[in-house]
Amino acid sequence: MGQKIIILLISLFCCLPVYSAQQENPYSNLVKHLGVTQDYFPAQRGGGLDYCERFFDNRKNEEPAMIVFVQGKSTYGEDNVRQLASPVIYSIMKHAKINSKKVLFLLPQVKNGWFNDEEGYMPSAMLAELIRSKIDEYDIPVKNVYLIGIEEGGDACYHIMDRNPELISKAIIDSSAGNVLDTKNIKGKFLVIHAENDDIVPLQKAKVMVKALKENSKTSVKFKILKEKDHRDAINYLANDEVLIFLFGHTSYNYFIY
């Protein structure tokens, strides 16, 4: 009887599908597809951040820029690839390559959120430290440091810029609520994007934040409300020409060649 049970168990295990590492994580192929490298940044006060980066060194005489993607809950984890999943990242990288832009793309990942983590560290503060290190490494002028914050990542962008007003010059905030307490010291240019029919982050929260930003004399704000659109539409809007113009000053010259 015992021998029959063992044979049955072996048969069952043999019938289970065998997955490769790539099959287990559907995002792993994005590392190669986007041409990024994966790394870990140890923060000075403990803890650290997983991140990916790609540097387009296309124009030798051009000042480099840095674009940091700060994303929301759907990208949280410990695999250092899930944050690459948004097709918007590919679109903006594609634009940089086509137009021979000299730009560093930085894509950090957090495990549970941008504020206090389970070990008591503040990932948003660690991201500010990482940005500083990349500014030094690539000799990037602060005027060319930009953030793209999506959902909770947008909240983190406000928080970082309020506590480090000298660090970043522009931010695109998409589908985020924010906290008006993070507008006291903040400065820079903002493009705030929100859907009229967002059922996840109500439009009214973005309106309150935009009002607070406009009351700060050190900021300039453009507020884009997408009429009759929903939450997902607003995130997809990051591939729009308006975003490219805000970041680079123009759209692609030949957008469909890669």
**Superfamily of segment(s) 29-248:** Alpha/Beta hydrolase fold, catalytic domain (3.40.50.1820)
Which residues of the chain carry a pLDDT beneath 70? Answer: 1-24, 118, 250-258
pLDDT at 155: 98
- Would you kindly state where each structural domain of the chain is located, as residue ranges? 29-248
Give the pLDDT confidence score for residue 1 in this predicted structure. 52
- Do the Cβ atoms of 145 and 172 come closer than 8 Å? no
- Two tokens, residue 36: 């990024």
Give the CA count within 13 Å in the CB-facing half-sphere of 203: 16
d(CA 49, CA 32): 21
- Residue 161 is predicted with a pLDDT of 98
- Residue pLDDT, tens place only, 169-220: 999 999 999 999 999 999 999 999 999 999 999 999 999 999 999 999 999 9
Axis-axis angle for helices 241-248, 87-98 (nearest 10)? 50
d(CA 207, CA 71): 20
**DSSP letters along 20-56, please?**
-HHHH-TTTHHHHHHT-EEEEEE-TTS-EEEEEEEEE
Cβ partners under 8 Å of residue 136, min gap 6: none
Strand order in the sheet with 65-70: 37-42, 48-57, 102-109, 65-70, 145-150, 170-174, 188-195, 219-226
Whole-prediction pTM: 0.87
Confidence at residue 6, expressed as pLDDT on a 0 to 100 scale? 41
Encoded amino acid at 47, one letter: G
